[in-house]
Amino acid sequence: MSQTMLNKSGSAGFLNPKNRLTLTWVLFLLPALLVYLTFMAGPLFDSLRLSLYTGEGYNPTEFVGFQNYINLFTNPLWREKFINAFTNTCIFFAIHMLVQNTLGLLFANLLSTDFKGRNFFRTIIFAPATLSVLVVGFLWTLILNPQWGAVNKIFMAMDLKQFALPWLGRENLALPVISLTSVWQWVGMPTVMFLAGLMGISDELLEAARIDGASEWDIFWRIKFPLLKPVIGVVAILTFVDNFNAFDIIYAMAGAKGEPGYSTDLLATLFYRTGIAGEHPVGIPDMGMGAAIATMTFAILMTGVLSWLYFSRKQATE
C-alpha cells in the first residue's frame, strides 16, 4: 500500500507515509478552508470583536470591554428587548419543531407506501420551498388580510364571525400565524428527509411484522420510529439552527420591527435593527450592541449544537 502511495504522489515523495497522508488531507481541505476563512469566518470573527467596542456606524472605535453585554443585561430596556426576542425565537422554533416536523413525519409515512398519485403529492408538498420568502410572506399577508383576505371570507361565509380575526395584528396571534406560514413553506424539507430514512427500512422487516399481526400504528412506533432516530436528530438540529437565525419571513410579514408591538421580534430582527439598520425613523446603527446580540445568539446556538453533537456521539458509541 505504501509503495503505491509513493508512486501516486510524487511531489511528496520525500515525506514518510504518515506525513504524506497528512499532506493529502490538508490538500483536500485547503480550498474549502481558504474560501471559508476569507469570506465567512474572517469577516464574522472580526465583527464579533466589535461587540467590545462602541460608537456610531459600522466601525465603532471606542473600546469599552464588556460594557455592551453589561448594558444588554442590566439596562431594563435592552434586557426587555433581548428577553422578548429570545422568548419569541424559542416559540418560533418550538412551533416549527412540533408542527413542521410532526407534519413532515406524517406526510413521509403516508408517502412511503405505494399508491396512485404518490408522485403528485410528493411534488406538491415540497413546492412552496422553491418560492422566495418574500413571495410567501406577501401572499399570506394578502390571504390573511382582515378586509378582503380569503381566510376571513371563508369564516364569514361559514357564519363563524368570531374567527374572522386580524390575524397579523393581534400580539398573541401574529407570531404563531407567521410561524405557521413558515411551516407551510418548509414542511417539504423534513418530509423528504424522513422519506429517505423510511425508504431505507427494509421491506422484509415490515412484512414480517405485518405477518405477525402488528398494526400500522405499532409498526410505526416499534419499528419505523426507532430506526428513524438518527434522521430525526439531523432534522431537529437543522430546524434549530435555521429557526434561531430566521429573519426573512418576519421581515416580509411583520417588518424589521416585529410588529405588532415587537410581538414577532426575533433575535435576528433585533440584531438587524440594532446593528445594521437602526430604528425608524432615526436609523443610526449601533454596531457594537448589534454584535453583542449576535454573539449571544451564537453562544445559544453553539451550546445547542455542541450538546447535540455530544449526545449523538455518545449514543453512537453505546
Partner 1 sequence: MRWNRLQLFFTYVVLTIWSVIVLFPIWTLLINSFKPQKQIFKDPFGLPDTFTLDGYREAWNTGRFDLYFINTIIVTVIALGLILFIGSMAAYALAKWKSPVASFLYVFFIAGLMIPIRLGTLDLVRLIKALNLQDTYWSLIPVYVAMGMPIATFVLTAFIKELPGEMFEAAKIDGASEWQVYSRIVLPLMRPAMATVAIFNMIKIWNDFWFPLVFIRAEESRTVALGVSLLFGQYRTDWTRALAVLSLAAVPMLILYVLLAREFIKGLTAGAVKG
Partner 2 sequence: MQKKLFGLLSLLVLLSLALTACGGGAATEAPAEEPAATEEAPAATEEAPAATEAAAEEITLTLGSWRVDDVAAWEAINAAFHEKYPNITVKFDPTNPPDYNATLRTQLETGTGPDLYFVRSFATGRELFDAGYVASLKDLPGINDSFTEASRAPWATETGEPYAVPIIAVSHGVYYNKEIFAANGIEVPATWEELMAASQTLLDAGVIPFANGTKDAWDINEVVMMQFIPSNIGGFEGRMAYLNGDRCFNSEEMVASFQQIDDMQPYLPNGFEAVSYYDAAQLFAQGQAAMMMDGSWSIGAFEKDATDFEWGVFYPPALEGKDTYVTFHIDAAIGANAASPNLEAAMTFLEFLESSDFAGLLGNNLPGFFPLTKDVPTLSDPIAADFMAFNESAAGVDIRFVWEKLLAAPSGSVDAYTSLNNNVIAVLKDEKTPQEAADAFNADLAAWYEPAAGCK
Site for partner 1 in 95-134 (CB under 8 A): 103, 106-107, 110-111, 113, 115, 117, 119, 121-134
Count Cβ atoms below 10 Å from residue 313 Cβ, excluding itself.
10
CA–CA distance, 110 with 84 (Å, rounded to integer): 38
Report how far residue 94's alpha carbon sits from residue 101's, in angstroms, rounded to the nearest whole number: 10
Q: Which one of the spans 18-26, 96-104, 163-171, 205-213 is the region binding partner 2 (CB under 8 A)? A: 163-171
Q: Would you call 293 exposed, middle or buried from its count of C-beta atoms within 10 A (0-12, 13-18, 19+)?
A: buried
Q: Binding residue for partner 1 (CB under 8 A) from 44, 83, 160, 208? A: 44
- Identify any residues that bridge with 53 across adjacent strands, giving them in sequence order: 63
Q: How far apart are CA 285 and CA 294, in angstroms?
A: 14
- Scan residues 128-167 and list those touching partner 1 (CB under 8 A): 128-136, 138-140, 142-143, 148-150, 153
Q: Judged by CB under 8 A, which of 29, 35, 127, 154 binds partner 2? A: 35
Nearer CB in complex with partner 1: 146/171: 146
Q: Which stretch binds partner 1 (CB under 8 A): 41-49, 67-75, 159-167, 253-261?
A: 41-49
Q: Which of 278, 171, 189 is nearest to 237 (CA)?
A: 189
Q: For partner 2, how many residues bind (rule: CB under 8 A)?
A: 49
* Binding to partner 2 in span 65-124, by CB under 8 A: 71, 75, 77-78
- Residue of 185, 202, 196 lying closest to 234 (CA atoms): 196
In whole angstroms, how close is the CB of 168 to partner 1 at the nearest point?
A: 15
The minimum distance between CB 127 and partner 2, in angstroms, equals 27
Q: Select from 12-20, 39-47, 105-113, 222-230 the region that touches partner 2 (CB under 8 A).
A: 39-47
Closer Cβ to partner 1, 34 or 171, answer by number: 34
Q: Which is nearer to partner 2, 68 or 100 (CB)?
A: 68
Q: How far is the CB of 261 from partner 2 (least distance, A)?
A: 7
Q: Left (φ > 0), alpha (ψ -120 to 50) or beta: where does 46 sit?
A: alpha
Q: Of partner 1, partner 2, none, which one sits near residue 121, judging by CB under 5 to 8 A according to partner kind?
A: partner 1
Instruction: Tell me which stretch binds partner 2 (CB under 8 A): 15-23, 56-64, 180-188, 203-211.
Output: 56-64
Q: How far is the CB of 62 from partner 2 (least distance, A)?
A: 13
What phi and psi, each to the nearest 5 degrees, are found at residue 69?
-65, -40
Name which of 171 and 199 has its Cβ closer to partner 1.
Answer: 199
The mark string for 243-282 relative to partner 2 (x by CB under 8 A, - otherwise) is --------x---xxx-xxx--------------xxxxxxx
Chain center to CA of 88 = 14
Residues between 275 and 314 that touch partner 1 (CB under 8 A): 275-276, 287, 290-291, 294, 297-298, 301-302, 305-306, 309
- Using only C-alpha atoms, the chain has a radius of gyration, in whole angstroms, of 25
* Contacts of the segment 195-198: beta carbons below 8 A, 24+ positions apart: 195/108, 195/111, 195/112, 195/122, 196/231, 197/108, 197/227, 197/228, 197/230, 197/231, 198/108, 198/109, 198/112, 198/224, 198/228
Chain contacts with partner 2 (rule: CB under 8 A): 30-31, 34-35, 37-39, 42-43, 56-59, 71, 75, 77-78, 141, 144-147, 152, 164-170, 251, 255-257, 259-261, 276-286, 289
